[in-house]
């Protein structure tokens, strides 16, 4: 059996980012995009440029930084959207305009208030305009799986005539089932003139838990591009999980003779990069990347595993980059070893980035004996992103106990120079620390979400805190890491504070220095 290539189209930074709690700033998107490039995805959908200036800036920055994959920008089929997407893609080595219009009667009547004929004209004009700007044009018929099949034939015929090179058949609301989806792909292949000359793409949402099964069934029926997200994040119940699609194709190549360009050993690291950025943990029993995905608990299973791993293991943890020990570096490791490890992790650092990372690394190795990959990823994420620190932590002292109010004394250095100190009381040390910070900055934050997790194991583990804080109606996320969880909380809160102050200056964060 020959092995055909499946294009992996990653939309973590677009559809994935639309899920609650998953929004990322420019530096974070750039970090994730670089990791996706190291993972070997074929297409990175970097954003929806017309939707906001931040999205525009992210697409532009990713197009500059990631030269290997195709960079796609999403737009509706309306001229200002298409032009804005193209503007954002100007510096891409391999640009793609991805334009979409809903085609189901439900969407046409209630959302677009258009007739089928009017929608056809919008598609003809929109795809045609995109094609006049960019040779690579993808057209998506939003809500395709609830659209009339004969109408879809008309829609895709027009899209091909207008120059589309990829036709996407999204299951926007996660409604279809494998057999039906497969029949739809076969139907389109039989009826749409010229379809053999373009790539059929699938894009499945997971409302019924069928996104991956539907995607694979479409591949068997002739689709050759799968749209997916890391950890399956995305609107509502999410999108098809990239790691599941890739590993299903790999492990069951006997029944599905298809290859992808994904470097499987980078899968776990990529999943962790996303967790580190968003603070959204993966469920423990999640296939491939969950904490328990390779854990064998019952005695019978453990016994079987000890006799032969193949008794209960269909793939090894190492094959997706899960290593039993992540120990990488210690106090005496030098700059060279650090640079090499960062490179292996998918972050080739420039000289000044490495200087900064090395400083943070030596500081951390004074606090904890063993430095793990996850610690290094935290350094990249927290230390190398350039949100100017209007306020910087200088000193912290907090007390708490069962028979007393918690108190905090915080000293911050301000950008203008000088240090200021305040004290505050609270329900607990974290609450007291936040109150002291508010007094110092003059802002009043309302804590909406607070999450903490240990980055690595052991009593000296780095604790990582994610907060969501509302300042005057504006919600901002913040992250901080330290071996002391009160300090990590303070750093996270201060990070959110500095972001909101920066946003008020009307600028977007500076880019992480790139080698490219
Ligand atoms: O789910 C969907 O239909 C989409 C399209 C924009 C491709 O995300
Ligand atoms: Zn979608």
Q: Which atom of ligand 1 is nearest to the CA of 173?
A: 1
Q: Which atom of ligand 1 is nearest to the CA of 227?
A: 7
For residue 514, pLDDT over 60 is answered with no
Can 4-278 and 391-504 be said to share one CATH topology? no
Name the residues around ion ligand 2, CB cutoff 5 A. Answer: 15
Which has more confidence, 207 or 499?
207
Mean pLDDT of 255-281: 93
Residue nearest to atom 2 of ligand 1 (CA): 172
Ligand 1 center from residue 257 Cα (angstroms): 27
Ligand 2 center from residue 446 Cα (angstroms): 32
Could you give the 3-state DSSP secondary structure of residue 4?
strand
Ligand 1 center from residue 263 Cα (angstroms): 26
Ligand 2 center from residue 283 Cα (angstroms): 21
Give yes or no for residue 11 CB within 6 A of ligand 1.
no
Q: Which atom of ligand 1 is nearest to the CA of 170?
A: 3
Ligand 1 center from residue 293 Cα (angstroms): 29
Give yes or no for residue 429 CB within 6 A of ligand 1.
no
Ligand 1 center from residue 215 Cα (angstroms): 14
pLDDT, position 447: 92
Residue nearest to atom 7 of ligand 1 (CA): 140
Ligand 1 center from residue 142 Cα (angstroms): 6
Question: Is there a contact between 44 and 62 (Cβ–Cβ < 8 Å)?
Answer: yes
Which has more confidence, 25 or 227?
227
Give yes or no for residue 100 CB within 6 A of ligand 1.
yes
Q: Which atom of ligand 1 is nearest to the CA of 14?
A: 8
Q: Which atom of ligand 1 is nearest to the CA of 144?
A: 3
pLDDT, position 278: 87
Residue nearest to atom 5 of ligand 1 (CA): 142
Structural domain spans, the chain: 4-278, 294-323, 335-383, 391-504
As a whole number of angstroms, the distance between CA 423 and CA 101 comes to: 56
Which has more confidence, 370 or 2?
370
Could you tell me which CATH class the domain 391-504 is placed in? alpha beta
Give yes or no for residue 172 CB within 6 A of ligand 1.
yes
Could you tell me which CATH class the domain 4-278 is placed in? alpha beta
Give yes or no for residue 15 CB within 6 A of ligand 1.
yes
pLDDT digits (tens, 9 = 90+) for 406-435: 999 999 998 878 899 999 999 999 999 999
pLDDT, position 325: 45
pLDDT digits (tens, 9 = 90+) for 438-455: 999 999 999 988 988 877
Identify which ligand lies nearest to the alpha carbon of 169.
1
Residue nearest to atom 8 of ligand 1 (CA): 15
Q: Exposure string (b/e) for 249-286, b if CB count within 10 Å is 16 or more?
A: bbeeeeebebebebbbebbbbbbbbbbbbbbeebeeeb
Could you give the 3-state DSSP secondary structure of residue 378?
helix
Give yes or no for residue 54 CB within 6 A of ligand 1.
no
Nearest to 436 by CA among 479, 467, 391: 391
Give yes or no for residue 35 CB within 6 A of ligand 1.
no
pLDDT digits (tens, 9 = 90+) for 460-513: 778 889 888 888 877 777 888 888 999 999 999 998 898 888 777 644 333 333
Contacts of 70 (CB under 8 A, 6+ apart): 42, 43, 44, 92, 94, 95, 96, 136
In testing the pocket of ligand 1, which one of 97, 123, 176, 203 has its CB within 8 Å of the most ligand atoms?
203
pLDDT, position 302: 62
Neighbour order of strands in the sheet with 474-482: 445-454, 463-471, 474-482
Give yes or no for residue 140 CB within 6 A of ligand 1.
yes
For residue 326, pLDDT over 60 is answered with no
As a whole number of angstroms, the distance between CA 236 and CA 204 comes to: 12
Helix (H) or strand (E) holding 119: helix 116-133
Give yes or no for residue 286 CB within 6 A of ligand 1.
no
Which has more confidence, 322 or 133?
133
Give yes or no for residue 37 CB within 6 A of ligand 1.
no
As a whole number of angstroms, the distance between CA 381 and CA 120 comes to: 45
pLDDT, position 269: 92
Residue nearest to atom 1 of ligand 1 (CA): 172
Question: Is there a contact between 509 and 394 (Cβ–Cβ < 8 Å)?
Answer: no
């Amino acid at each position: 059996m020959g092995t055909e290539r499946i294009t992996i189209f990653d939309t973590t930074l677009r559809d994935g980012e639309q899920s609650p709690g998953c929004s990322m700033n420019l530096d974070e998107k750039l970090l994730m995009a670089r990791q996706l490039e190291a993972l070997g995805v074929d297409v990175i959908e970097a954003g929806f440029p017309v939707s906001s200036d931040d999205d525009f800036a992210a697409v532009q920055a990713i197009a500059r930084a990631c030269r290997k994959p195709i960079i796609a920008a999403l737009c509706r089929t309306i001229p200002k959207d298409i032009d804005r997407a193209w503007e954002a893609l100007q510096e891409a080595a391999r640009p793609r305009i991805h334009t979409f219009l809903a085609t189901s009667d439900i969407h046409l009547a209630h959302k677009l208030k258009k007739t089928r004929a009017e929608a056809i004209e919008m598609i003809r004009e929109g795809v045609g305009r995109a094609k006049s700007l960019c040779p690579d044009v993808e057209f998506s018929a939003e809500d395709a799986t609830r659209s009339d099949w004969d109408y879809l034939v008309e829609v895709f015929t027009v899209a091909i005539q207008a120059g589309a090179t990829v036709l996407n058949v999204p299951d926007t609301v996660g409604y279809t089932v494998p057999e039906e989806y497969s029949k739809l792909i076969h139907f389109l292949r039989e009826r749409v003139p010229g379809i053999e000359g373009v790539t059929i793409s699938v894009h499945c949402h997971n409302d019924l838990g069928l996104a991956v099964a539907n995607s694979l069934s479409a591949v068997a029926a002739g689709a050759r591009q799968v749209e997916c997200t890391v950890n399956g994040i995305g609107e509502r119940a999410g999108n098809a999980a990239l790691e599941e699609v890739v590993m299903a194709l790999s492990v069951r190549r006997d029944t599905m003779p298809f290859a992808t360009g994904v470097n499987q050993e980078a899968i776990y690291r990529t999943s962790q990069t996303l967790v580190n950025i968003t603070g959204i943990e993966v469920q423990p029993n999640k296939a491939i990347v969950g904490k328990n995905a390779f854990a064998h608990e019952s005695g019978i299973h453990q016994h079987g595993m000890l006799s032969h791993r193949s008794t209960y293991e269909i793939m090894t943890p190492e094959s997706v980059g899960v290593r039993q020990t992540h120990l990488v570096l210690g106090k005496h490791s030098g700059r060279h070893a650090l640079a090499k490890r960062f490179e292996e992790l998918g972050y080739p650092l420039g000289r000044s980035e490495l200087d900064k990372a090395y400083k943070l690394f030596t500081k951390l190795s004074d606090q904890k004996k063993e430095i793990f990959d996850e610690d290094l990823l935290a350094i990249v994420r927290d230390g190398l992103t350039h949100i100017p620190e209007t306020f910087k932590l200088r000193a912290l002292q907090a007390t708490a106990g069962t028979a007393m109010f918690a108190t905090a004394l915080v000293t911050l250095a301000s950008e203008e120079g000088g240090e200021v100190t305040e004290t505050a009381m609270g329900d607990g040390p974290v609450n007291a620390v936040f109150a002291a910070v508010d007094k110092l900055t003059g802002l009043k934050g309302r804590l909406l979400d607070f999450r903490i997790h240990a980055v690595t194991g052991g009593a000296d583990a780095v604790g990582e805190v994610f907060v969501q804080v509302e300042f005057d109606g504006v919600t901002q996320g913040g992250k901080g890491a330290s071996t002391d969880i009160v300090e990590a909380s303070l750093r996270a809160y201060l990070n959110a504070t500095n972001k909101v102050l920066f946003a008020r200056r009307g600028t977007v964060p500076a880019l992480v220095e790139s080698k490219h």
